[in-house]
Amino acid sequence: MTWGRMALFFSLAALAAAAWGEEERVVSQQAQTALAVTIYNNDLALVKDQRRVRLANGDNRLAWRDVSARMQPETALLRSLDAGRLRLLEQNFDFDLLTPQSLLAKSVGESVRVIRPPHPMSGVEAVEEATVLAANDGVVLKFADRVETGVPGRMAFNAVPVNLRDRPTLSMLLRHEGVAERLLELSYLTGGLSWKADYVAELSAREDTIDLNGWVTLTNQSGTAYPNALLQLVAGDVQRVRPEPRPGPLMLRAAMAEAAAGMQQEGLFEYHLYTLERPTTLLNQQTKQVALLSATQVPVQKEYVLQGADFYYRGPYGDLGRRLKTAVYLEFQNQGGGLGVPLPKGVVRVYKKDQAGRAQFIGEDAIDHTARGERVRLKLGNAFDVSAEKRQTDYQKIASGGRGAVHESAYELFVRNAKREAIVVKVVEPMPGDWQMVAESLPHRKETANTAVWQLKVPAEGETKLAWRVRVRD
C-alpha cells in the first residue's frame, strides 16, 4: 500500500469513528487465523472468517475489512470462539467503494479546490475554490463568478466522505467485558462465488470403455480474495428465498488451472459435500480448476437411436423423410473402479484418438446430479454412416363419433448402414391415444404406455426394412 493510500484509509477510519463517537479498530486480513468457504451450485457461498482481535472493556468499534462485496449483511453472525462474552449492538455493511467518481458524487454541494496546470511562463499553479453542482455525466462546478464543466487540471477535496471505504468492510459496534485478545469468527452468506463440474472422457479404440476425469471449475466474482481457505462444495438443489440483487464486480479478468489432490465427499442432509484435501487461494476475478475424480477403463455401451413422432398417426402424410438422422448415445454405470461416488451435475466432453494417436473431440452432453450406482447416458451427436427413410403406406379413418375417431395407418422404414460392421438400431415410435399394433414385420416391445420400440439389426454395408400397421383411438 502506498503512503497516499495509507493516509487516505486512516483519515477515512477517523471520520467513521467520529460518526460513531468511538475510535474504530481496523481488523485486517493480517489478523486472520483460519478461513473456510463452502460454495453451493446456485451463486451462493458460506464464508467463515476467523481473526484474532484485541478488545477493550465496554463498547468496541471494529472495521472488519476485506469481506465479500456481494455479502448478504442480514446473514452476518459474529461470535467468540474462546472464553469471553460479547454482544453485537450494531453493524453497517460499507460496499460503496472509494473511487474518483464516487468521491466526486459524494461531494455534490461541497466545496473543492481546483488546481490548474502550471503557467507556462511562471510555472505557478493556480488554485480556485468551487462548489460541486453535479457529477452525473462529467462534473459541473460553480466558481465565484461563473459555472464551468470539464475543468482542466485536478481537484483537491477537503475530506473523504464517511460512507466511502477503500474496500468492502463490515463495521460493527459490540460490547465486551474485560480487556483481552479474542478469537472471533464472522460467518455470512454471499453471492459472487460459484462452481460447476466438468468431465473429460476418452473413448477406447474398441469403443467399449472410457477413461473419465472430473474437474471442478471455481469462479470468484465476489469482490475480495480468499487466501489459504478450506474449500468445500455442496452438490444438490438447495431451497433458497432469492435475495434482492446487490452491486458487485462483473468482469472476469484472470484464469488459472491447478492440479490438485482429489476431493473427499460425504453426505450432508439430502445433498453431497465435497472437501478439497488442502487449503487453496481464490483470488478476486479468478477462475480456478481443481481435480474432482479420475477413473480408468469404465465399461460403456454405444447405442444408435432413431426417434419417431406421434403426429402422423392421425392423418395422411405419405413421405416422412428420406435421410432421417440416427442419434448416437454412450451409457455407463456410476459404480466400480474410480467411480461409485456421487457425480455433481456438469458437462461431459468425450474424445477419441485417431489413427495417429491424436485425441479428437467427438461430442458432449450435460448430466444432472447422479447418485452412486445410477446410469449416465450421453448423447454425442448423429451417426454419419447410418441413415433411414420412412413413409406412410396406408391411412384410413375407420370410425368417428362420440367415443372418438379411430385411425388405422401403415408404415415402412428402411435403415441403411454404410459401416463395415453390423449394428443394432433402436427404433422408438411414440404412439398417441389408445393404440393397438395390428401387424408388424418384427416384434415390438412396449417400453412405456405410449411407446413402441424395435431393436433393428442392420448388416454391414446393408439395409433392413421394418413395416408395421397400427390402430389409434382418440
pLDDT in tens, 153-188: 888 888 877 667 778 899 999 998 888 899 999 999
What 8-state DSSP symbol labels residue 166?
S
pLDDT of 245 higher than 70: no
Stated pTM of the model: 0.72
Do residues 460 and 314 share a domain? Answer: yes
Do residues 30 and 117 share a domain? Answer: no
Do residues 251 and 289 share a domain? Answer: yes
> Residue 431 falls within a domain, yes or no?
yes
Do residues 408 and 450 share a domain? Answer: yes
> How many structural domains does the chain have?
4
Do residues 439 and 454 share a domain? Answer: yes
pLDDT of residue 450: 95
Domain end point (choices 112, 140, 157): 157
> Residue 364 falls within a domain, yes or no?
no
Average of per-residue pLDDT across 116-134: 86
pLDDT of 28 higher than 80: yes
pLDDT of 53 higher than 90: yes
Give a three-class secondary structure readout of 270-288: CEEEEEECCCEEECCCEEE
pLDDT of 13 higher than 70: no
> Residue 180 falls within a domain, yes or no?
yes
Do residues 311 and 456 share a domain? Answer: yes
Average of per-residue pLDDT across 338-356: 91
CATH of the domain at 324: 2.60.40
Alpha-carbon span 230 to 64, nearest angstrom? 20
> Residue 369 falls within a domain, yes or no?
no
pLDDT of residue 225: 94
- The helix (H) or strand (E) run that includes residue 6 is helix 3-20
Alpha-carbon span 90 to 171, nearest angstrom? 8
pLDDT in tens, 207-241: 999 999 999 999 999 999 999 999 999 987 778 77
> Residue 236 falls within a domain, yes or no?
yes
| Cell representation of residue 8 | 487516505
Tell me if 59 sits within 8 A of 23, measured CB to CB. Answer: no
Residues found in the chain: 474
Identify any residues that bridge with 396 across adjacent strands, giving them in sequence order: 408
Do residues 316 and 404 share a domain? Answer: yes
Do residues 379 and 459 share a domain? Answer: yes
Of 253 and 405, which is predicted with more confidence?
405
Do residues 309 and 440 share a domain? Answer: yes
Do residues 78 and 107 share a domain? Answer: no
> Residue 114 falls within a domain, yes or no?
yes
> Residue 291 falls within a domain, yes or no?
yes
Alpha-carbon span 452 to 434, nearest angstrom? 13
pLDDT of 401 higher than 90: no
Alpha-carbon span 303 to 299, nearest angstrom? 14
Question: Between the ranges 71-85, 200-214, 231-245, where is the mean pLDDT highest?
Answer: 200-214
Do residues 175 and 150 share a domain? Answer: no
Q: What is the extent of the structural domain holding 176?
A: 3-34+50-97+164-190
Instruction: Measure the CA dihedral 397/465/390/408, to 10°.
Output: 10
pLDDT of 428 higher than 60: yes
> Residue 361 falls within a domain, yes or no?
no
Do residues 284 and 398 share a domain? Answer: no
| Cell representation of residue 70 | 456481494
